[in-house]
Structure 1
Amino acid sequence: MMAPVKQEKPKMQSELCSSPSVIVIGGGFGGIAAARALHDASFKVVMLESRDRIGGRAYTDYSFGFPVDMGASWLHGVCKKNPLAPVIGKLGLPLFRTSGDNSVLYDHDLESYALFDMEGHQVPQELVTEVGEAFESVLEETKKIRDEYQEDMSVRKAFSIVLKRRPDLRQHGLAYKVLQWYLCRMEGWFAADVDNISLKGWDQEELLEGGHGLMVQGYHPVIEALAKGLDIRLNHRVVKITWRYSGVKVFLEDGRTLVADAAVIAVPLGVLKASTIKFEPRLPEWKEAAISDLGVGTENKIALYFERAFWPKVDFLGVVAPTSYGCSYFLNLHKATGHPVLVYMPAGRLANDIEKMSDEAATNFAVSQLKRILPHASEPIRSLVSHWGTDPNSFGSYSYDAVGKPHDLYERLRVPIDNLFFAGEATSIRFPGTVHGAFSTGIMAAEDCKRRLMERYRDLELFQPVMGEELPTEPIPMRISRL
């Protein structure tokens, strides 16, 4: 079972008044990184988390008897440049590479997946490759459309324009269904339908080299290591923040209040959009506009645990269909971990529709999709179902560039306001939607906070590295497997 986080007895307000002090709101990777860095720099730090656990949208479930990530599960960019590489390397956590340097949008490694039609016939691998290359070509052609049109449009509309201009890239019959499956994978990458993804913004994030590594033991060990020794208050839901030059006051749902010199706001974008936390005075219009205009999408997971593995030894199993909404894909955890688990991963409108179902109905839907391609599939022993879109602690999975909205909204959301600092994946203009993006913005928020408070406290020492002196000065190679 997952080791519980030690929850210290709440301190009285007077204990938090001594300075320099910071309240970090949100216990995901952005909040934990900020709290870790500030704590190691000798600040008084309290982290408030509304859930009964830390980690936010990175959640490792142990109820199967082994770790299964029901939220974030990949390190995108398995290389030294990844901000999380030193932490993962030091902990010696293994990764399983599921694709190479290309974006997952058009990785055609034939080891990676097996696609099937609705009748259970496997799509010839040469056709998967051929359509994948055509998909990549269409994406390249959409960049020309972007240059021609002043107004933004959806990726779906740009695809339509390209295919009208380039008959040679059009697909028919089974190939057309495979193309829809590639669009389905793209929707999973952004947790949104291609009808809503910005043509101007979809490729503006920075993709690190090294491919995509699945966290074999889950993200929980990383969370626990970063959180060690921090003052974490679980089940502390913040409902209002008042901010002045002299400090901040944080109001909890149960009526208690805490005060500090500054606050780091590291709650998910969906929570900010829902306005469940009130700010007094209100945030500036440009900040509210960034919250309103950034897209936040949903990708869920339905983990199916079987007695034994009866499926091909590939990273992904896919179902092709006439529409991206009708397509499906399953992550094969058996290949990476040895456990007979398939994870169904719906995104966008499909994910939102499935969230309206009961967990039993959602599981049955996932199993029915599996039986389309493997008619003799057995029933799962147990299942797990995530609800990131309706969870009041998240209201969505991660951010994306919405049609007609500028990419710099991520940076606007990150920019501090007086003694309020912002962190999380939706504040990362370089790495939005990623764990390492959230982590890096937490470090940046801590650095900004330190500089701000040094205006009043000139004797603060320089920041210590994240995780204090425990991090190695020389990078430790990450443990990566592929077979």
Structure 2
Amino acid sequence: MESPDKSKRQLKRASCSSNAERRQACSPSVIVIGGGFAGIAAARALYDASFRVVLLESRDRIGGRVCTDYSFGFPIDMGASWLHGVCKENPLAPIIGRLGLPLYRTSGDNSVLYDHDLESYALFDTNGNQVPQDLVTKVGQAFENILVETNKVRQEHSEDMSILRAFDIVFERRPDLRLEGLSYKVLQWYLCRMEGWFAADADSISLRSWDQEELLPGGHGLMVRGYRPVINTLAKGLDIRLNHRVTQIARSYNGVKVTVEDGRTFVADAAVIAVPLGVLKAKGIKFEPKLPDWKEDAIADLGVGIENKIALHFDKVFWPNVEFLGVVASTSYECSYFLNLHKATGHPVLVYMPAGQLAQDTEKMSDEAAASFAFMQLKNIIPDASEPIQYLVSHWGTDTNSLGSYTYDLVGKPHDLYERLRIPVDNLFFAGEATSVNYPGSVHGAYSTGLMAAEDCRMRVLERYGEFDLLNPTMGEDVSVPLLISRI
């Protein structure tokens, strides 16, 4: 016969487990759509706040436009690869610091061209002649002066225009700023780098808004070991369903019903939509009822740029020990640049980075043809370059899971579209780099909007639940760890 004490213990255990099940059953539920940094951040925050969370991701991996590839035998980020703003104010800094992930700083705070400040570069013409360093510096100063003049043009015109049109007006007014010959080609290279920042051509970049983005201090750091360890850490323990492409989102007062490609449905109190803007533009997801006009206009009027990477792996280093190799030419389309990963990581890899129309054109090629095209650009400047032993090619513009690289301001469209895209619609909450007012196009921008959407969602759902113990989520203690930054 069982002792009374043992029976009491079993009864207490049964009571505890039924309470836990009841609490789980009545916990608020959320479906997060999209497993990039924004979606994972939202799912993590809501899970840590005791919500039941299911994350649906269309790819066979998490990360979205963060994609660390290991097929060379070491990590190569084929999507986002920089931490823009190497400082403790960056919301990703605590995680990166705790993981002990090293960063390689490619610029300081004063960078006109953002992800590097030309402290370490080598530019060549298409005949393989290196451009004198003092000429590049001189043209760089001229480029800055031209940008100052475009600001005057902006102040004088009520209507927006493209950066390219503003340059034309500056040259009409200030013939002394016109450049010719090799200097003109170097200027085109500067313009090409600017286009790379926006992943768009200068004739579609807004003069009114091009410099409205906030830049965190500390310069820009390349993630030496890639972004994969960060996203994996954030995703730990979450219920993530890969290969679940969402086709429909139906909302009502009582909750949301999400349908995936094979017809299965998921129901919850609310949903966080963290899919790329390009996917929303393509209308691959049907909303029932349809989204309000102001939301659809925001989706339609924000620009999505394309920048790709063609990573070339060599058996040995045969190029100068600089961060960037550049090709100068008579148009920005013909200019190009290679990021030298050997300087940051020690691996003999150059990454060709076409943007805008050039990126679209290379996406039409096979991977082999695209790698050959990139290698030919390299042969122009280093004739005795040896053939690559491996290559990787990204396709962000044609990939159905992204349909673009990141967001930028189109000519004539208001800068508040990012905020409009972020604003919730009933129990649908929006996240992603395209919803970041201050940091669009960045990983920390995406991450921040995921946290914001999670908090908005939490408060909205709790208004209905009136739950007491969910108002103070138990978050891990935020321990500040210094970032590991190198600069060779």
What amino acid sits opposite 2:72 in the alignment? Answer: F
1:73 aligns with 2:81: yes
Q: Pairwise mapping of residues 200-219 of structure 1 onto structure 2 (< 5 A)?
A: 200-219=208-227
Q: Is the 8 A contact 1:108 1:129 kept in 2?
A: no
Q: CA deviation at 1:18?
A: 4.8
- SS of residue paired to 1:264: strand
Cα displacement string for residues 210-231 of structure 1 (whole angstroms, at most 9, x for unaligned residues): 1110000000000000001111
What amino acid sits opposite 2:402 in the alignment? Answer: S
What amino acid sits opposite 1:477 in the alignment? Answer: P
- Which runs of 5 or more residues in structure 1 are unaligned? 1-14
Q: Pairwise mapping of residues 36-435 of structure 1 onto structure 2 (< 5 A)?
A: 36-105=44-113, 109-435=117-443
CA distance in 1, matches of 2:114, 2:39: 33
Q: CA deviation at 1:471?
A: 3.4
What amino acid sits opposite 1:53 in the alignment? Answer: R
2:485 to 457, 480, 483: 480
Q: Is the 8 A contact 2:431 2:446 kept in 1?
A: yes
Q: Is the 8 A contact 2:105 2:222 kept in 1?
A: yes
Aligned length: 465
Q: Is the 8 A contact 2:107 2:114 kept in 1?
A: no
CA distance in 1, matches of 2:172, 2:238: 57
Cα displacement string for residues 172-211 of structure 1 (whole angstroms, at most 9, x for unaligned residues): 1001000000110011100000100000011111011111
Which residue of 2 is the match for residue 6 of structure 1?
none
Residues 110, 146 of structure 1: CA spacing in aligned structure 2 closer, same or farther, 3 A cutoff? closer
- SS of residue paired to 1:161: helix
CA distance in 2, matches of 1:338, 1:233: 36
Which residue of 2 is the match for residue 441 of structure 1?
449
What amino acid sits opposite 1:471 in the alignment? Answer: D
CA distance in 2, matches of 1:107, 1:272: 28
CA distance in 2, matches of 1:452, 1:88: 31
Which residue of 2 is the match for residue 11 of structure 1?
none
Residues 37, 109 of structure 1: CA spacing in aligned structure 2 closer, same or farther, 3 A cutoff? closer
Q: Is the 8 A contact 1:30 1:439 kept in 2?
A: yes
Which residue of 2 is the match for residue 469 of structure 1?
476
Q: CA deviation at 1:100?
A: 1.0
What amino acid sits opposite 2:65 in the alignment? Answer: R
Q: Is the 8 A contact 1:103 1:207 kept in 2?
A: no
Q: CA deviation at 1:340?
A: 0.1
CA distance in 2, matches of 1:479, 1:55: 23
Which residue of 1 is the match for residue 8 of structure 2?
none
CA distance in 2, matches of 1:174, 1:133: 15
TM-score norm. by structure 1 comes to 0.94
CA distance in 1, matches of 2:470, 2:27: 14
Q: CA deviation at 1:108?
A: 8.0
Q: Is the 8 A contact 2:114 2:197 kept in 1?
A: no
What amino acid sits opposite 1:166 in the alignment? Answer: R
What amino acid sits opposite 2:478 in the alignment? Answer: L
Cα displacement string for residues 316-337 of structure 1 (whole angstroms, at most 9, x for unaligned residues): 1000000000000000000000
- SS of residue paired to 2:452: helix
Q: CA deviation at 1:455?
A: 1.0
Residues 429, 463 of structure 1: CA spacing in aligned structure 2 closer, same or farther, 3 A cutoff? farther
What amino acid sits opposite 2:289 in the alignment? Answer: P
- Which runs of 5 or more residues in structure 2 are unaligned? 1-22
CA distance in 2, matches of 1:230, 1:361: 40
CA distance in 1, matches of 2:114, 2:312: 26
Q: Is the 8 A contact 2:50 2:473 kept in 1?
A: no
Cα displacement string for residues 247-302 of structure 1 (whole angstroms, at most 9, x for unaligned residues): 00000000100000000000000000000000000000000000000000100000
Q: CA deviation at 1:62?
A: 0.1
- SS of residue paired to 2:476: helix
Cα displacement string for residues 140-168 of structure 1 (whole angstroms, at most 9, x for unaligned residues): 11111111111100000001111111122
- SS of residue paired to 1:456: helix
* Farther off after superposition, 296-305 or 132-141: 132-141
CA distance in 2, matches of 1:155, 1:245: 45
CA distance in 2, matches of 1:444, 1:215: 24
What amino acid sits opposite 2:251 in the alignment? Answer: W
Residues 297, 476 of structure 1: CA spacing in aligned structure 2 closer, same or farther, 3 A cutoff? same
Q: CA deviation at 1:456?
A: 1.2
TM-score norm. by structure 2 comes to 0.93
Q: Is the 8 A contact 2:110 2:117 kept in 1?
A: no
Larger-gyration structure (1/2): 2
Residues 410, 106 of structure 1: CA spacing in aligned structure 2 closer, same or farther, 3 A cutoff? closer
What amino acid sits opposite 2:487 in the alignment? Answer: R
- SS of residue paired to 2:271: strand
CA distance in 1, matches of 2:405, 2:118: 29
- SS of residue paired to 2:465: coil
- SS of residue paired to 1:248: strand
CA distance in 1, matches of 2:473, 2:172: 57
Residues 236, 135 of structure 1: CA spacing in aligned structure 2 closer, same or farther, 3 A cutoff? same
Q: Using the aligned pairs only, state the percent identity.
A: 75
CA distance in 1, matches of 2:60, 2:45: 23
